[in-house]
Each structure stands twice: as C-alpha cells, then as structure tokens.
Amino acid sequence: MEKLLAFHLDESQLKRLKGIAAVMKIQVEVIEPQYYFTPLEDLADGKLSPLAAPFEGKVPPESLLLFCDFTEKRMDGILAALSANKFVVSYKAVLTPTNRKWNFMQLLLEMRMEQGGMSD
C-alpha cells in the first residue's frame, strides 16, 4: 500500500502535506525522532519495536519525504500536487531494494552526499 513517511516536518508542513495526500487518498506516517535508527522497511511496514535502540542524538535540520510503494503514475501525480501547492521539503526519496535496510540517518547521509556530488 502506498504511503508517505514524513521525517522532521513542522506542524504547518504536516497539515499541508496531509491535506494534499488526503485528496489522493495517500496515507501519511509521521516518523518521530526516536525511530530514526529503525530500518526504513520496518517504518514502511509499521513495525516499530519498543525494544530497538532509540535515536537520542541531535535531530538533523533537514526534512525528508520517503515515498513507499508508489506506481510511476501515482508518483507523478503526488509530485505534481506537491509542486502545484509549493510544498517545500529538504529531500524526497523512494524506498528501494537498495535502501530498505537503511535507517533515516543513513538515508539522510546518502542524500547529502548525492546533493554535494560526492556519491560513488
């Protein structure tokens, strides 16, 4: 089932995102900082273990949307809706076979490297 995972969005951004997503019947899950070390696939599947080591560090300033299980057509639609509504977020990423075992902090590091042109 398609889902948007939202990391580090403020209340105003969340309200706007949920409104945009609701029109398209897309579920939005807000991921709290304590789960920033949880594998992305577990977050997408709603498997939040209370036994996992919680993230206790300084929350990064960047915001991120993770798109899970979208078809190309639906992805185009939500991206167009976000753009039309001038919705700004630091990073957008797609859950892939490569990154599904990563956690938010690993994904964020990769996104920063790609933006800086330092990716291998």
Question: Does residue 65 form part of some domain?
Answer: yes
Cβ proximity of 26 and 3 under 8 Å? yes
Q: How confident is residue 120, by pLDDT bands cut at 50, 70 and 90?
A: very low
Q: What is the pTM of this model?
A: 0.91
Question: Does residue 14 form part of some domain?
Answer: yes
Give how many domains the chain has, as a whole number. 1
Show the domain range for 74: 7-116
Question: Does residue 29 form part of some domain?
Answer: yes
Measure the CA–CA gap between 9 and 88, rounded to whole angstroms.
Answer: 10
Question: Does residue 2 form part of some domain?
Answer: no
Residues 6+ apart with CB under 8 A from 98: none
**pLDDT tens column, 48-82:** 877 777 888 899 999 999 999 999 999 999 999 99
Angle, CA of 77, 116 and 34, to the nearest 5° = 70
Question: Does residue 44 form part of some domain?
Answer: yes
Question: Does residue 1 form part of some domain?
Answer: no
